[in-house]
Amino acid sequence: MRVLITGGAGFIGSHIAQHFQGKAEVVVLDNFRSGHRRNLDGLKVDLIEGSILDRAALDRAMRGVDLVFHLAAMISVPESMLKPRECVEINATGTLHVLEAAADAKARKVVLASSAAIYGDNPTVPKVETMAPEPKSPYAVTKLDGEYYLEMFRRERGLGTASLRFFNVFGPRQDPKSPYAAAVPIFIEKALRGDPIAIFGDGGATRDFIYVKDIVGALVYAATTESVHGTHNVGYGRKMTVLELAREILRLTGSSSAIEHKPERLGDVRHSMASSDKLQAAGWKPAHSVAEGLEATVGYFKGLK
Ligand SMILES: NC(=O)c1ccc[n+]([C@@H]2O[C@H](COP(=O)([O-])OP(=O)(O)OC[C@H]3O[C@@H](n4cnc5c(N)ncnc54)[C@H](O)[C@@H]3O)[C@@H](O)[C@H]2O)c1
């Protein structure tokens, strides 16, 4: 079997590459917009440096491929607000390129990394796939576009497709240095340095944090299970407050960093939690937990020091 991972030099993509070591030939197409070559250190992959917007590079990457994991994207909501046209180009047009190339190369299935951002700031939890999408950013709009394009290619071109809406993914190799970094790697890095951890608001906002290994499990399940198509949420269906997260990280790192409260950020959603019942009913089960994932992630960042 041969698999292509667009955005494979990124945080989640590199874990997919790791999963397939010894199980399949792995091709990675990445232009290092936000990913890093070092994420693939020690992994056997056919690395093609290029963009999903370059059809020639995409065709080369797609040769002989059975499964496509499409993760290449502008990944940040705030960045998409600042650069909406670039976001549309990479996330919507880029996804169309990937689908055309996959259909032309007769790939079996394309799985898209979609996002819980599609639910916008609708306060209802848990989020279920039947809720009306309320995308509030170019990032969310383009992820939703992608889902529709995947479904269109399934109907019109007979290409297998499925979209997974990830909730808050964390794990080793998530980049704490990017200007749009997520809470888990930032908190761990601050805790290990003894620097104060900043929380926006009272820390009572909740998120459905999910360990990257379970996201990989869900992606692989969706890619290899013919009956899975359309859109599915992926989260643990559990909520953790940001304050609980910070305290757990302080405990795991043995850090005495202070927790500082900063003014709430405009546009932050108060509560976000998935119902993954649809994917679970289709046969997927998470194999890990937040506690296990946080321990592994802290261990990884300690090892970098
Ligand atoms: N991390 C999360 O919590 C989360 C949540 C929901 C959805 N997602 C989605 O999962 C996917 C992976 O996210 P991540 O957290 O691993 O981020 P990441 O930034 O580590 O990975 C994205 C990768 O795509 C690459 N890329 C960007 N534009 C490209 C282009 N034009 N051509 C080729 N490669 C390109 C980047 O260099 C990077 O390696 C993204 O599609 C993201 O929107 C992530």
pLDDT of residue 58: 98
pLDDT of residue 185: 97
pLDDT of residue 269: 81
pLDDT (average), residues 245-253: 98
Q: For residue 270, give both structure tokens.
A: 């108060």
**Does 33 contact ligand 1 (Cβ within 6 A)?**
yes
Kindly give the number of the ligand 1 atom that is closest to the alpha carbon of 75.
43
Alpha-carbon distance of 219 to 261, in angstroms, equals 36
Q: Band the pLDDT of 210: cuts 50, 70, 90.
A: very high
Is it the case that residue 178 has pLDDT exceeding 90? no
**Does 105 contact ligand 1 (Cβ within 6 A)?**
no
Domain identity same for 83 and 202: no
Look at ligand 1, atom 18, and give the residue with the nearest C-alpha. 10
Is it the case that residue 237 has pLDDT exceeding 80? yes
Kindly give the number of the ligand 1 atom that is closest to the alpha carbon of 90.
31
Kindly give the number of the ligand 1 atom that is closest to the alpha carbon of 32.
37
pLDDT of residue 180: 80
Number of domains in the chain: 2
Alpha-carbon distance of 10 to 164, in angstroms, equals 17
Domain identity same for 159 and 247: no
CATH label of the domain that carries residue 245? 3.90.25.10
pLDDT of residue 158: 97
Residue 132 in domain: yes
Domain identity same for 153 and 18: yes
Q: Band the pLDDT of 254: cuts 50, 70, 90.
A: very high
Is it the case that residue 236 has pLDDT exceeding 80? yes
Mutate to test the pocket of ligand 1, among 12, 58, 111, 165 (most ligand atoms within 8 A of CB): 12
Q: For residue 86, give both structure tokens.
A: 């670039």
CATH label of the domain that carries residue 102? 3.40.50.720
**Does 11 contact ligand 1 (Cβ within 6 A)?**
yes
Q: For residue 135, give both structure tokens.
A: 């995308």
Q: Band the pLDDT of 181: cuts 50, 70, 90.
A: confident
Domain identity same for 131 and 47: yes
Domain identity same for 39 and 118: yes
Look at ligand 1, atom 9, and give the residue with the nearest C-alpha. 113
Q: Band the pLDDT of 69: cuts 50, 70, 90.
A: very high
Domain identity same for 37 and 82: yes
Provide the domain limits for residue 154. Answer: 2-167+211-235
Q: Are 219 and 271 in contact (CB under 8 A)?
A: no
Domain identity same for 289 and 226: no
pLDDT of residue 130: 98
Residue 270 in domain: yes
pLDDT (average), residues 114-129: 95
pLDDT (average), residues 82-94: 98
Is it the case that residue 267 has pLDDT exceeding 90? no
pLDDT (average), residues 174-178: 92
Domain identity same for 62 and 188: no
Domain identity same for 161 and 290: no
Is it the case that residue 33 has pLDDT exceeding 90? yes
Is it the case that residue 268 has pLDDT exceeding 80? no
Domain identity same for 81 and 185: no
Residue 46 in domain: yes
The long-range contacts involving 263-267, CB below 8 angstroms and separated by at least 24 positions, are: 263/200, 263/201, 264/200, 264/201, 265/200, 265/201, 267/121, 267/136
Domain identity same for 129 and 188: no
Provide, rounded to the nearest whole percent, the portion of the chain with pLDDT above 70: 100
Rounded to the nearest 5°, which phi and psi values hold at 125?
Answer: -130, 150
Domain identity same for 200 and 113: no
256 CA distance to ligand 1 middle (Å): 33
pLDDT of residue 265: 81
Residue 280 in domain: no
Residue 154 in domain: yes
